[in-house]
Amino acid sequence: MQIRPIRRVKLILPALTEATSPFWRPIKYSLFPPLGLATLAAFLDPDLEIVLQDEHVETLDLDDEPDLVVIQVYITNAYRAYRIADLYRARGAYVALGGLHVTSLPEEAAAHADTIFLGPGEHTFPQFLRDLEAGTPLPRYASSSRTLEELPPIRRDLIRRRLYLVPNSIVVSRGCPHHCTFCYKDAFFAGGASFYTQRVDAALAEIARLPGRHLYFLDDHLFGNPRFARELFRGMRGMGRIFQGAATVDSILRDDVVEEAAAAGLRSLFVGFETLSPSGLAGAGKSQNLGRSYGDVVRRLDDLGIMINGSFVFGLDGDDRDVFRRTVDWAIHSGITTATFHILTPYPGTALFSEMAARDRLVTRNWDLYDTRHVVYRPIGLSPEDLKRGYDWAYEAFYRWGSIFQAASAHACAKHALKHVAYSAGWKKFERAWNAVIRIKQLSQMRPLLESVLSPVPPGSRPPAQGLEASGPARRPLGQPRGSVSR
Ligand code: B12
Ligand code: SF4
């Protein structure tokens, strides 16, 4: 093809398919800006005309004439991404596709791109730009060199901050040291290191550049390298930040990193509990959760005033019709603040996908349905209908007002209980209010509210921390399992 001189560059995050479905929750998709694309934009010559558009928060302008189009492809925006790619290619633009789904299924994506990228883009994208300038771009670049050192500062100026509740999203590591069979990470990081961190001083400098108080670490596992995490949190002390992040069950119990994090401003943590069943954990390769007391995890975080977003997956082999009730009961009685439930989803490229395909258990390859809300495989021990019904029931049951108050009452400290109600209800009970705020483009006005809900509970108002038992029940004994699921 004839490559036009590159003057105008457009970076696009197409809307996930949910954007046009009844599941669309504008607030969920107005949380974080497209950090990956802003990271890539840093490698472009700043003198170029660069536009970054996120279809979750704005209408895409598709009437323009960029010379280079860079599109990030997730599994459930893949078809939309391909349509946009085809449109721009027909107009003579050079189209580059990358991201998780392109890495999983490069042949599929290649039909819609001039160049595809496999894996993280920090090294391949600048190489591509050099090749493009020389007139010799390759059809495919696969990342093998992995480091976050010496990277140019992310082009956050291209992000329209006021359209997001959490514009200060940040990643200080990539990947994760674990190997759960359903996770994207082994496939995405194939061909090189699958867990690596920034240098602590560079991470601290990036944090210092972020305005405001609140941060959200999008790292898969913020405590994955304890030495790095400890130094990072020590460096953050005194910066006056409050932040959220994600970590594994074992890392919370392992050492003092969680205390360091709390002292630095950690106020809420996403924890992958996934299942209460040891055989389910073993089957999913989730050995880091095996034999650990979830009750201890909850107690330790609660004692530090850290709210918990628990992640749970339904449909693992061995799950029966009672799994929904058991899981929701446990989450409520343990005082989990927010819960994210998933229907097990075999993403292409994962060990789980290969296994399901080999056993002929996949019932569809319509990627739009791979959103963890649909059953796309043949479950064992549950019918697909029971699985879907149980999943819907779990959300409904966990976020009932009664459940929210019951879960909040599990905290020993009244202020923590109040924050629990505010955070959980704020996330799930005021959809219309969020929609109105988003419509008038005033989401940034809500940030102080989020910050006040996340502000620390003064140590004096908390009961003294209890010692950690080797294992034990959650804060309260579990309710008796109560038969099969009903709505
Ligand atoms: C933020 C986020 C979201 C946001 C996404 C919006 C946004 N603005 O990005 C929201 C909240 C909407 C979201 C929703 C969901 N998410 Co999400 N999310 C993330 C999260 C935590 C961070 C993404 C991020 O910013 N990473 C940091 C940047 C720097 O990396 P990056 O985006 O991957 O970009 C790099 C590369 O991909 C590459 N690249 C990307 N595009 C391109 C293009 C070109 C041309 C090139 C060269 C390179 C390139 O280069 C970039 C720099 O290295 C990831 C976990 C993670 N740590 O990545 C999960 C993750 C992507 N989400 C996941 C899931 C499962 C979901 C949900 C289904 C959950 C649910 N049930 O609701 C939904 C829906 C997603 C879907 N339908 O596909 C999974 C995806 C699994 C998969 N195989 O697709 C992940 C990996 C979490 C996990 N560990 O399982 N998510
Ligand atoms: S611990 Fe989380 S991020 Fe790490 S491999 Fe497992 S699911 Fe993926």
Residue 174 Cβ inside 6 Å of ligand 2? The answer reads: no
Cα angle at 63 between 93 and 122, to 5 degrees? 45
Phi and psi dihedrals of 227, rounded to 5? -65, -45
Nearest atom in ligand 2 to the alpha carbon of residue 186 is 5
Q: What is the pLDDT of residue 429?
A: 76
Summarised one tens digit per residue, pLDDT across range 200-210 is 999 999 999 99
Mutate to test the pocket of ligand 2, among 173, 174, 220, 352 (most ligand atoms within 8 A of CB): 220
Q: Among 92-96, 160-164, 445-449, which stretch is predicted with the lowest mean pLDDT? A: 445-449
Query: Whole-angstrom Cα distance, residue 124 to residue 284?
Result: 32
The closest residue, in CA terms, to atom 71 on ligand 1 is: 372
Q: What percent of the chain has pLDDT over 70?
A: 92
Does the reported pTM lie above 0.85? yes
442-468 average pLDDT score: 68
Query: pLDDT by residue (tens digit) across 219-257?
Result: 999 999 999 999 999 999 989 999 999 999 999 999 999
Strands 169-170 and 140-142: unpaired
Radius of gyration of the chain (CA): 23
What atom of ligand 2 comes closest to residue 286's alpha carbon? 6
- Average pLDDT for 76-83: 96
Picking from 147, 167, 180, the residue whose alpha carbon sits closest to that of residue 32 is 167
| Ligand 2 and 338: CB distance under 6 A | no
pLDDT, tens digit, for every residue of 273-311?
Answer: 999 999 999 999 999 999 999 999 999 999 999 999 999
Nearest-ligand number for the alpha carbon of 188? 1
Per-residue pLDDT of 459-481, as tens digits, reads 555 554 443 333 333 443 333 22
